[in-house]
Structure 1
């Protein structure tokens, strides 16, 4: 039989807040003492000797005055000094807070944080007080023979919380006035059975499980009240099923808790500039998931305000950051919608309303580097509260030879299965390339690796609660057996963010600092950048601010953006707009489907188009003219043609050449039916006859594009001016601009793959 205990919602009661502050101070006191420094923040012109004597007298008086509350007495015993802020004019106070100093936390002769932060115990202390916020809840916990379960699914988190509670529960009971109770409260941990892994490891784990069950049985025999951490009620020993068990959910960290932690670690006066700190803090949920070493890094800052800034920065860093959710996934609306539906399915499965076999649980993410594939997988895990296991071909190969690789990959698969519900994220999926390659040694190695991965994917698919997410820059290079349905059921493509996405990513990474800057001037400048590029801009801006020893400002943000994506001149913008408008005009005039979007980016321009599902010779000839229309537009309007149309893989000339080659060698749309694909690296050695035929296709397409543009020169200029002004045109805007040019098109492209013209 189980009963659910509920912690009080909202702010702590005054008594609970007083207890929380005393407990946090006691945790800090056991690890370090505040140190008196020679560094004094600006204060009124006072005599230092007299100020020190006055402060010592005040501390002594406070320590002996019986009317002091427990909190005040604790402050007095710690020799708290009056805040520097009391001796400052309002403008001086505001200036110090603006630069990140906290005159309310700094005493006249003391400043700075403690040197060794027991962050694990501090966060556990916050949760303990919040979960036992009322005397009634605590009384129920301490009844003889009471069994109270704190469910913690992750074994890593369970271990850390168990160790922390073992340290702080005795102190908590003493401060709460319950230390005389006998027998004392026992803090125990129950682990789940280990079903896989090395035999020796399983034996050791099983012995530890048996030892913990003996501790549980011993506590039951002695009628000792217990606080038990386990994945759930099913992980408790069998004897618990015959006994009443009360469940105590562990509360989420709140902003109030973070403020109190900073008060304990940084305030020498018991005071804080709370408004400034709260404005700077990241969401508490993100802070709760930071590793202890990152918390310590933040709490090394000299003031609580700077510590809050640092916490916000650490929570916003990098696409793999802990605590990310799908709310942090900007500029990918269709991908986000599909994964939010999956989160709902996971919740239904957890509640027993849906069978796991009915959940779509495998996804292939593709897209260029930096668009957020890792962030997407981590955000899915964060939104669904799933254990996140991340690995890659390279990470496992670094373990050593083939046997070491196989063990390393199997260990990560085991972790995902054992920690289910979980997300298993496999990056660099294109490293698992086709097994029919020409390199005999590499092929043999590749066959072994791919075959092992297929076995691992089958194990993951058979494990309820495991979601598999693969990521690749090149889905066409992955062995087909890996990406087929059943192993990866859904293929989601991530693209570069549009203007709205860029603005949202900037705001997300800036966090609370976004209120102090205007991101609008740099949004257009960052079009075409990946989410990783935009994150680098924010990190660079924070770096500039740190070097100035000042808060982040507009100049920092603009300077950082200039490093990543230098502003284009008006002339360069016009040249790009003319080129991209050429693609739009010819596609419309020749009856091709309207582009999905067109934009001028930090790295040039692009027009995203759909390819029809059925390619005929007529469609391909029109497509080739549209691909070559950018060059033709430059020649018509600018009087000369730049090199951009032939700048590397994916350029206009590369795309047009590939179309012409496939017409001749693959698709059976030329004067012969031979199928003889030619790899890209063989194009330099084309037979002379084939080269002439390909060149004929290209020349015909280029002439056709020039003729169309000459007939519609004014439309070309109008669309180029609009693109130069607006920088980012969506499908509806393009359709409106080309309405008079378009003619009926029956190609049917609603589900067609995307292609980008440059």
Structure 2
């Protein structure tokens, strides 16, 4: 290099270039050669120079880079390290000694890069890259040995002598997210086989980067690509190709393969974002290593200029961080302790307290099947983290049930119990993103699943809750003019559930009020293959729910009377009841009392006149009497609760086979008519309270005679709603009317014979509000008349 420089005519050459060339020595030290390349680079972009001079500077720059690449960096660096070791031993001043040691660490870093084939001589001269090299080298130096004395002062990075010689415009330290991305990329590629594929000719490595912010940094920031060997063609695709761009992207990758140049392709999900030729040509497919505690410590050091204490390093171990966490917590002007405190708070789940949404599976009652499934999932996750295949994990389910039965609450309790991060989303949320057309909706869906994959990386796992999943309806039923839109949305959701890359580590739970509406492909095994019905809690479960939500209040109180007043309450209604009772006590300026719960639970009865309440009790007693007489061995529950237009109900305990004989159908009709019969017999008049009962028994009678073939007419069965069937078939109307009249007469006779029992049941209902089958049986068998009103 020096011999070549002596042949140059330096007349008219910019001063910076001339000084750099004149400083060249015969041994051609790599730093001197790099200085020439830097000076020529700066001159080549100077618009004040003639075009011919700028072209000459470009030629000299390229020559200097080439020489630097082959000039024997390892030998030069080893020689420099030996000289610096001698200088460090002879230096007493701690600051000067630290400067020498940092330079020595940089030389050591270069040696390792040269040995691994990752040294980028073409860009090593750049000030920002030199800064990164020094930072990483200094981290290695401090980690490996206690060379710097405890009394050595620690200057801020912009005034630190370790960074002498850099341009004044260079920001001291990399942005935290960029620094973290560089460390992630370097660690991910440093695995057996991958480094060889990228250093050798023609290797293709696919890298999934689920975190959108990290992918953007790797795409746009040169400093984040320090771990990529020199000469690798790095391609970044942040979304699937649009239809008109797919062929162009395919040709781009074919051209890269023909050049026999190593290719590193980054995308959120290679299976959906990269062309088929890239997937087929890949030698390796990796997922970007997650940000770990050591990365965060290094980023904090580079940003604040101060090392993280051993105690804070221990707090960072075992946690998983996102790029957004790093950006939010690691900021200039903060000390390391404050950065650590912030980022640990961001990623550490809040301990469950048992109040509101903050429950664990052990505190969740009224969802036995779901809780059992959740505990099995936690066991499966433990086995997966120990080496079992992901296919052994129950990784998808649908929760069905009425509003307020605890579907979302179960997901939150599962996340609290398992330590899994929880993401809650829905199609409505995806459609509300951006311009709300198909492309943005699908992109938002992919980004949600990509974020879940990022959080699940490192075998941590992630829980994704998709609310109102019944919007993905059965595709066979879609026939309107927007069918193409609906089909593409459903197909995209199916692809995310079970795409080419799978969703290892991501557990998906869908919630719905009507599981039957969901497309069967979503409900198949491997996707959301388990359907769990969230029912209403029984009385014991309601007592347990009340106890959990009361916490330390009313420890010794008997909550059974409150549970009796909350028949058919959902978990959300139980929670609201407790909070209303607390509010009532707080407004009165006293502690919570059992009467507060009882009053809130019976609030609907307070505005109901006594005569109306007694009529409701008589009505439900008629149902209970007839149900008991129809099947004395079957348990039942009769409830008196005046709320939301319903005065009470009778529930037959135990599953229904769904297959009825004529006798069983007629028995159900008698039970339905017994409430009206009791009002007529006991109170001498019927009321509108039997409206729903009459609709129900009419529906049963029409289906029994017109569909089930259990009447006297032919076996022709036509499935129609009762209104249409009765309006269009006079014969069916006549038979239905005759059947109901006969059964009602029989029911009236039964109620008249047991009028005393009806009154006793009604009186008990007014006091207790809920009776079970055993209590009803005792009241029916009890001798003596009941009090008349």
CA contact (8 A) 1:392 1:429 kept: yes
How many Å apart are 1:429 and its aligned residue?
3.0
User: Which of 170, 173, 195 is 2:208 aligned to?
Assistant: 195
Alignment partner, residue 640 of structure 2: 600
The 5 Å alignment of 1:567-578 reads 567=606, 571-572=611-612, 574-578=614-618
CA contact (8 A) 1:595 1:607 kept: no
User: Which of 500, 505, 529 is 2:569 aligned to?
Assistant: 529
1:493 maps onto 2:533 in alignment: yes
Q: SS of 1:676's equivalent?
A: coil
Alignment partner, residue 385 of structure 1: 419
Residues 103-128 of structure 1: CA distance to partner in whole angstroms, max 9, x if unpaired? xxxxxxxxxxxxxxxxxxxxxxxxxx
- How many angstroms apart in 2 are the aligned matches of 1:511 and 1:675? 57
User: Which of 449, 463, 466 is 1:423 aligned to?
Assistant: 463
- How many angstroms apart in 1 are the aligned matches of 2:481 and 2:442? 18
1:561 maps onto 2:600 in alignment: yes
CA contact (8 A) 2:212 2:447 kept: no
1:369 maps onto 2:369 in alignment: no
Alignment partner, residue 652 of structure 1: 693
- How many angstroms apart in 1 are the aligned matches of 2:697 and 2:501? 41
1:584 maps onto 2:624 in alignment: yes
- How many angstroms apart in 2 are the aligned matches of 1:460 and 1:566? 58
How many Å apart are 1:709 and its aligned residue?
3.3
**Which gives a bigger RCO, structure 1 or 2 (Cα 8 Å, sep 6+)?**
1
Q: SS of 1:496's equivalent?
A: coil
Cα 1:555–1:410 change in 2 (3 A) is same
How many Å apart are 1:559 and its aligned residue?
10
CA contact (8 A) 2:474 2:518 kept: yes
Alignment partner, residue 492 of structure 2: 452
CA contact (8 A) 1:594 1:734 kept: no
1:662 maps onto 2:703 in alignment: yes
User: Which of 682, 691, 696 is 1:637 aligned to?
Assistant: 682
- How many angstroms apart in 2 are the aligned matches of 1:691 and 1:209? 82
How many Å apart are 1:583 and its aligned residue?
3.1
- How many angstroms apart in 2 are the aligned matches of 1:729 and 1:209? 74
1:204 maps onto 2:217 in alignment: yes
Greater Cα offset, 678-687 or 333-342: 678-687
Alignment partner, residue 702 of structure 1: 744
- How many angstroms apart in 1 are the aligned matches of 2:411 and 2:569? 20
Greater Cα offset, 687-696 or 361-370: 687-696
- How many angstroms apart in 2 are the aligned matches of 1:455 and 1:681? 44
- How many angstroms apart in 1 are the aligned matches of 2:439 and 2:779? 60
Cα 1:702–1:385 change in 2 (3 A) is farther
How many Å apart are 1:375 and its aligned residue?
0.7
Cα 1:566–1:386 change in 2 (3 A) is farther
Cα 1:346–1:581 change in 2 (3 A) is farther
Residues 334-358 of structure 1: CA distance to partner in whole angstroms, max 9, x if unpaired? 4434433433333343344x54433
Residues 258-303 of structure 1: CA distance to partner in whole angstroms, max 9, x if unpaired? xxxxxxxxxxxxxxxxxxxxxxxxxxx9997569xxxxxxxxxxxx
Q: SS of 1:360's equivalent?
A: coil
- How many angstroms apart in 1 are the aligned matches of 2:563 and 2:763? 19
Cα 1:229–1:396 change in 2 (3 A) is closer
How many Å apart are 1:724 and its aligned residue?
4.3
TM-score, normalised relative to structure 1: 0.52
Cα 1:370–1:236 change in 2 (3 A) is same
Q: SS of 2:537's equivalent?
A: coil
Cα 1:546–1:733 change in 2 (3 A) is closer
How many Å apart are 1:183 and its aligned residue?
8.1
Residues 89-144 of structure 1: CA distance to partner in whole angstroms, max 9, x if unpaired? xxxxxxxxxxxxxxxxxxxxxxxxxxxxxxxxxxxxxxxxxxxxxxxxxxxxxxx9
CA contact (8 A) 2:625 2:776 kept: no
CA contact (8 A) 1:529 1:601 kept: no
1:618 maps onto 2:663 in alignment: yes
Cα 1:652–1:459 change in 2 (3 A) is farther
Cα 1:494–1:654 change in 2 (3 A) is farther
CA contact (8 A) 2:665 2:700 kept: yes
Residues 668-712 of structure 1: CA distance to partner in whole angstroms, max 9, x if unpaired? 445344453335785796544444444444434433433443444
Cα 1:349–1:579 change in 2 (3 A) is farther
- How many angstroms apart in 2 are the aligned matches of 1:652 and 1:682? 19
Unaligned 5+ residue runs, structure 1?
1-143, 145-177, 216-227, 238-244, 253-284, 292-310, 741-758
Alignment partner, residue 247 of structure 2: none
Residues 561-593 of structure 1: CA distance to partner in whole angstroms, max 9, x if unpaired? 279645466655544443334333333433487
CA contact (8 A) 2:430 2:444 kept: yes
CA contact (8 A) 2:639 2:650 kept: yes
Alignment partner, residue 35 of structure 2: none
Cα 1:444–1:287 change in 2 (3 A) is closer
1:407 maps onto 2:478 in alignment: no
Alignment partner, residue 336 of structure 1: 371
CA contact (8 A) 1:503 1:523 kept: yes
Cα 1:541–1:602 change in 2 (3 A) is same
**Residues matched between the structures, number:** 483
The 5 Å alignment of 1:163-182 reads none
How many Å apart are 1:425 and its aligned residue?
1.8
CA contact (8 A) 1:581 1:719 kept: yes
The 5 Å alignment of 1:9-158 reads none
TM-score, normalised relative to structure 2: 0.50
Cα 1:359–1:401 change in 2 (3 A) is same
Greater Cα offset, 716-725 or 582-591: 716-725
How many Å apart are 1:438 and its aligned residue?
7.8
Task: Compare CA radii of gyration and give the structure with the larger one.
Answer: 2
Cα 1:623–1:374 change in 2 (3 A) is same
